[in-house]
Structure 1
Amino acid sequence: MSTATLPNPTADDLKQARRLSRKQGLFAPDLLKSALVRAFVMLRPDILWKNPVMFTVEIGTVLSIVYTGVKVFAPGSTLASLGYLVALDVWLFLTVLFANFAEALAEARGKAQADALRKTRQETPARRLRIANAERTPSGTLAAWHRDPEAFTDRISSTQLNRGDLVLVVAGEFVPGDGEIVEGVASIDESAITGESAPVVREAGGDRSGVTGGTRVLSDAILVRLTTSAGQSFLDRMIALVEGAARQRTPNEIALSLVLSTFTLIFLVVTATLWPMARYAEEYMANYLGAAGLKSLGTDVPTLVALLVCLIPTTIGALLAAIGIAGMDRALRANLIAKSGKAVEVAGDIDTLLLDKTGTITLGNRRATEFRPAGHFAAAELGRLAALASAADETPEGKSIVELYRRLPGAVDATTPAGSKFVAFTAQTRMSGIDLPDGRNIRKGAVDAMLRHLAQTGGVVPPQVQEQVNAIASQGATPLLVCEGNRLAGIVVLEDILKPGIRERFERLRKMGIRTVMVTGDNPLTAKAIAEQAGVDDYIAEATPEAKLAYIRKEQHGGRLVAMMGDGTNDAPALAQADLGVAMNSGTQAAKEAGNMVDLDSDPTKLIECVEIGKQLLMTRGALTTFSIANDVAKYFAIVPALFAATLPWLKALDFMNLTSPVSAIMAAVIFNAIIIPLLIPVALKGVTYRPVGADALLRRNLLVWGLGGVIAPFVGIKLIDLALAALGLA
């Protein structure tokens, strides 16, 4: 099958779509149109019942409309009384519609993001190797393909690819699916996913071997083993999450919904008992006080429904879902993909933050700066041994050792002899090296690992070496030991640099009550020095996957929520154990599967943004909940005294707002209750202003701004609406 004519967007198209989706305002015309249509669709009971508060309002609205319909044909009905009933019905209906509109607008923003992302998953041509599903990659695959492209690969559509297939991607082509590079290195344009125009380098081996379907190779060629089948890629799942199709309510959201449902049920019972009480009060006034003809508004079904709607927490009930959806949307705009709303919410409750030293706290790419020989070895000889041991080391540290040796005076050729066997670095051994054909073996690695190796091989460590190691480590540098056989050759000094402003960022987290923990493979002295410079609260030195996992479990057993980031396969257990695991998009598939959030920018410091977004979500929900409950208290004093003022005159003393009439008071309260929902939609979607303060300060601010504001706003709003109704002659 030829796929040369399959449609595919250009890189500029993808960047433009991503840019437009990011810049789209809250009330863009296309979003408003889509949300309005969806708001009417959500009136269906099978959809609205998931929101118990608004479902109750909808049922009450239907009962009110039926009551009004009956009154239209009832004898003795006046135009004024019918106008009052119809007006109540309209505003009750608008209350439900505005609530649906808030959630629909949040969903529409997510769908706009998904539309931009969907352009990246269109069918693309793929070059599949004819040895697909091979467990091991043939050596020299790229070289063989260059010699005979057509005989070596099949050209098929990306929709026909399966997990495990090996595909070749060359410069100018799009990666057809998620996978890991098994051979080659290339510059890749990830702007379609991240929105960043700067290309990134991805290469086989290490923790930056992951590639995402829809990204474009700019240079060279790579061999990729696919880790997902068509339709199951990371991008497919991301689109489903962004659209809201896969969104599930978070535990806190469910708990708050239950509380709101309980309030609704209580007020429903209270309101239902008012009707017989009002009838009894009317009969009592007529039979015992001689006040015949007095009629309370409390016996009208629409009025009782209006009372119920004003007393139950309709404001937060209407905006609760929109707040959760908007939280995921804000995470996406920060290039963070949350696999569920729970991940964003948990980020706001984090107590302990684990961060890798290299690339997070420091600039990464540690460089070799000095060779310190031991015993009878010279600096040039030590450098040559270190360079041979680093010949197959593709890490920046390994490459810097080779470069440093080449710059040494008197350096000779350090090409590895034919027949040499390389020993790869592992998290367990924490050393690497080379076995030469003449029987010699050269090793380099962490101090503790190398000392164990020397002890096992019968070597002797000069006494001054430990002093040198301690001196190097105390300055924040990292010492690596190099040995030939069972003889210690010396120390390689690796230096790292703190990221600018990192200490200030940790101070912000400390103000939020979050402990920061640095994770590093360095020895304790080096770790302590860098931890003090960076201002972290704790550190894990000589960290292994088991050490990270044990630390996380210890924190969790103490009742604390833990977040960490990672990009390698060895990080997967800790990412899965952490309450919030953020995986790098450039990392391995195992890391991305284990985490519950993926950073598209592959920026380790993004973990701090995760926490801030989660905090903002919780702050927004708390602020609007406080405002809603305060609103209900104020509306109670506005509507209840007016409701029974005619039957029970002494209640007039509670009507300190001095509203024009009972009818006007009820209408004003219902109108205010309806219009406050769309007025608060921008707050729900944008979130309240985030400030890195402690819980006590946050609670005080919440009560002062949103609590007091929630009490004052209804009094002011209802009074203004009452005056407007009186001016229009509708009171």
Structure 2
Amino acid sequence: MNAPMQALKGSAKQQPKTSFAALWKPALRQAFVKLDPRQLVRSPVILVVELTAVLTTVLCWIPNPAVSTGLAVQIALWLWFTVLFANFAEALAEGRGKARADSLRAGSQGLTARRRTASGQFETVPAAGLRRGDVVRVEAGELIPGDGEVIEGIAAVNEAAITGESAPVIRESGGDRCAVTGNTRIVSDWLLVRITANPGESTLDRMIALVEGAKRQKTPNEVALDILLIGLTLIFLLVVATLQPFARFAGGDLPLVYLVALLVTLIPTTIGGLLSAIGIAGMDRLVRLNVIAKSGRAVEAAGDVHVLLLDKTGTITFGNRRCSAMIKAPGVAGKELSDAALLASLADETPEGKSIVDYLRALHAMQEPARDEITSIPFTAETRLSGTDWAGRSYRKGAVDAVLAWVGITRQEVPAPLAREIEKIAQSGGTPLLVAADGKLLGAIHLKDVVKPGIRDRFAELRQMGIRTVMVTGDNPLTAAAIAAEAGVDDVIAEATPEKKLARIRQEQGEGKMVAMCGDGANDAPALAQADVGLAMNDGTQAAREAANLVDLDSDPTKLLDVVQVGKELLVTRGALTTFSVANDVAKYFAILPALFAGIHPQLGVLNVMQLASPQSAILSAIVFNALIIIGLIPLALRGVRVQATDAAHLLRRNLLIYGLGGIVAPFVGIKVIDVLLNAVGLV
């Protein structure tokens, strides 16, 4: 097997062990490690549950005629069980990320690089010691030691270690496709790369930090939700604290164990136990999309985006104009035009020239002279045409006026059918090139911006989700309108400058809208920095990647739709489980309280609509239900609530119906079933 094939095979991404079977044991160990109160400070509600578990455990050793030791022990055990499974949910989500991080790290450990010295020689150094500005040489079969820009050479690079795509991509110096990513492998040839990231700042480093849930910073949404949960906890703490005075006033007494257990069942333990897992699992889904987030806020903001600005070149279109049609002049055979266009383009190394050659080769087979047999006529800004001389004949192609001048005729002398086609091409937003041979006008070539396949359907999906798309381009309004119509965007900004892009984003933000920007060029950098969500293509310019808060490793602009989906899933999942948790807590209050006070005033038994057997049974059933519901919701927290393309009002109604009503009904049904089972087996 040759070196490039070995490189291709060796660079296949190792699949991390992220199944439940592989993760549950380490997650269970971490659940016990997380019992350390210093770690639980990040989850105040669960910290309260742990403190109540400690207090209940202590009360088990203090004799109380109103509460049997067996009941107190059961309550304490279920409280500890609640804390452990809340920790388990977070550890399970973190375990997925850490497994992926270990897989990513494995490919970069012990990596070395050939760094160019001041004398122009190359020395072997550890890749971890490279700094921004260092220049390294990488050859076929070797890993690129860090993020950088190609300054010399052209090579096929396999990016499977980062993107998961095994098909190599071409990277070369100059232009917008010179960016390379660390830990990817060169399949053929060689590259001279200038490193653009210091240690800890590379794409791989950011990816590892992102997938390691323990290092993920809380987003503003999570902080706000934490504040809400703390507030609800304090409210229910006051509620529970006032129950004993009411009981004493009524001539009875509520044991401290009951009150502590009641507090745990009423505070929002469900969402408190799952909040971290929801956030970590959401970031894990983002990594699986091969998108690097520099901040969690950007992902959440994506869930609230109203307007999406997309740079046309390289984002909506492929980035270079391509040949789409050949139009022959009257009296000219199609083969004569094709042969002349091919010969005029053989020595043209521009993307447009290559597209003409590819188009004609695919059209039909033609006899091509060897490169050393032809004389190349390069394009210049003065002549505005290019071509070749071969076998005593001259072939030219170029701008309309330039070719007409070479042929020696005016626009008025162009045959009417050909003139109409040239005008039609211009009006459609394309670029007409004329083809001539030996002073004879043969026809025209239609060059056009080719819209990426499937992008129109993706924009339709965005529209269904209430997101308006705006194409941003430097083209004239006529060309811009034609491409916008083909792509299916809602609005267009033509003849756009960086200032125009910034002004539009600020205008939308001034109207209270969240704006996302997708781009890949240096001229997109200011807009990417200003937007609430800035998604840069990984193969774009360094300036764009640094300005954005999201980087797509696959360089697929339609990926923003998937990022929006993840953002919406994060917000909707938190909202759904918060709705369920609050409704759950309110229902438990009205389900348990009558049973507790019925022991003091039998007349209140009429309010015990659930017919719970006793106060002891009511408290223990509520504690058991409280623990089990967290276990039941772990899969939903990790998977996320699926969001379909619909409006916010429909989502709210759906959440209230499913999770609000479900949160009210579940405790009544669950606690009653557990009450029956506990009494059936004689545990109370």
TM-score, normalised relative to structure 1: 0.80
2: CA distance, partners of 1:692 / 1:161 = 46
Shift of 1:334: 1.3
Structure 2 residue 302 is the aligned partner of structure 1 residue 347: yes
Q: Output the amino acid matched with 1:709.
A: G
Where does residue 656 of structure 1 map in the other structure? 609
Distance 1:607 1:493, change over 3 A: same
Superposed counterparts of 1:289-368, under 5 Å = 295-296=252-253, 298=254, 300-362=255-317, 365-368=320-323
Where does residue 100 of structure 1 map in the other structure? 87
Shift of 1:46: 1.5
Superposed counterparts of 1:511-590, under 5 Å = 511-590=464-543
Superposed counterparts of 1:37-436, under 5 Å = 37-71=29-63, 77=65, 81-131=68-118, 152-282=121-251, 295-296=252-253, 298=254, 300-362=255-317, 365-369=320-324, 393=350, 396-397=351-352, 399-400=354-355, 415-416=376-377
Shift of 1:358: 4.3
Aligned CA RMSD, in angstroms, stands at 3.7
- Is the CA contact (8 Å cut-off) linking 1:386 and 1:402 kept in structure 2? no
Where does residue 571 of structure 2 map in the other structure? 618
Q: Output the amino acid matched with 1:641.
A: P
2: CA distance, partners of 1:466 / 1:225 = 49
- Is the CA contact (8 Å cut-off) linking 1:129 and 1:167 kept in structure 2? yes
Shift of 1:590: 2.1
Shift of 1:211: 0.8
Matched residue SS, 1:198 = coil
Matched residue SS, 1:539 = strand
1: CA distance, partners of 2:326 / 2:495 = 22
- Is the CA contact (8 Å cut-off) linking 1:14 and 1:119 kept in structure 2? no
- Is the CA contact (8 Å cut-off) linking 2:306 and 2:468 kept in structure 1? yes
Shift of 1:701: 1.0
Where does residue 641 of structure 2 map in the other structure? 688
Q: Output the amino acid matched with 1:247.
A: R
Shift of 1:690: 2.3
Matched residue SS, 2:466 = coil
Shift of 1:54: 1.3
Superposed counterparts of 1:479-498, under 5 Å = 493-498=446-451
2: CA distance, partners of 1:586 / 1:494 = 24
Distance 1:548 1:384, change over 3 A: farther
1: CA distance, partners of 2:273 / 2:511 = 37
Shift of 1:247: 1.3
Where does residue 392 of structure 2 map in the other structure? none
Structure 2 residue 12 is the aligned partner of structure 1 residue 15: yes
Distance 1:462 1:46, change over 3 A: farther
2: CA distance, partners of 1:387 / 1:307 = 82
Q: Which runs of 5+ in 2 are unaligned?
A: 1-5, 330-336, 387-395, 403-409, 436-442
- Is the CA contact (8 Å cut-off) linking 1:391 and 1:402 kept in structure 2? no
2: CA distance, partners of 1:203 / 1:327 = 35
2: CA distance, partners of 1:525 / 1:468 = 16
2: CA distance, partners of 1:497 / 1:568 = 18
Shift of 1:10: 7.1
Shift of 1:364: 5.3
Q: Output the amino acid matched with 1:160.
A: G
Q: Which runs of 5+ in 1 are unaligned?
A: 1-8, 133-150, 283-294, 424-430, 435-441, 452-459, 483-489
TM-score, normalised relative to structure 2: 0.85
Matched residue SS, 1:517 = strand
2: CA distance, partners of 1:105 / 1:564 = 34
2: CA distance, partners of 1:653 / 1:16 = 65
Distance 1:170 1:644, change over 3 A: same
Matched residue SS, 1:208 = coil
1: CA distance, partners of 2:157 / 2:514 = 36
Shift of 1:520: 2.9
Distance 1:481 1:637, change over 3 A: farther
Matched residue SS, 2:192 = strand
Distance 1:246 1:10, change over 3 A: farther
Matched residue SS, 1:705 = helix
1: CA distance, partners of 2:631 / 2:638 = 11
Structure 2 residue 681 is the aligned partner of structure 1 residue 728: yes
Where does residue 333 of structure 2 map in the other structure? none
1: CA distance, partners of 2:284 / 2:413 = 59
Shift of 1:58: 1.7
1: CA distance, partners of 2:12 / 2:242 = 60
Where does residue 334 of structure 2 map in the other structure? none
Aligned length: 642
2: CA distance, partners of 1:35 / 1:57 = 20
Shift of 1:518: 1.8
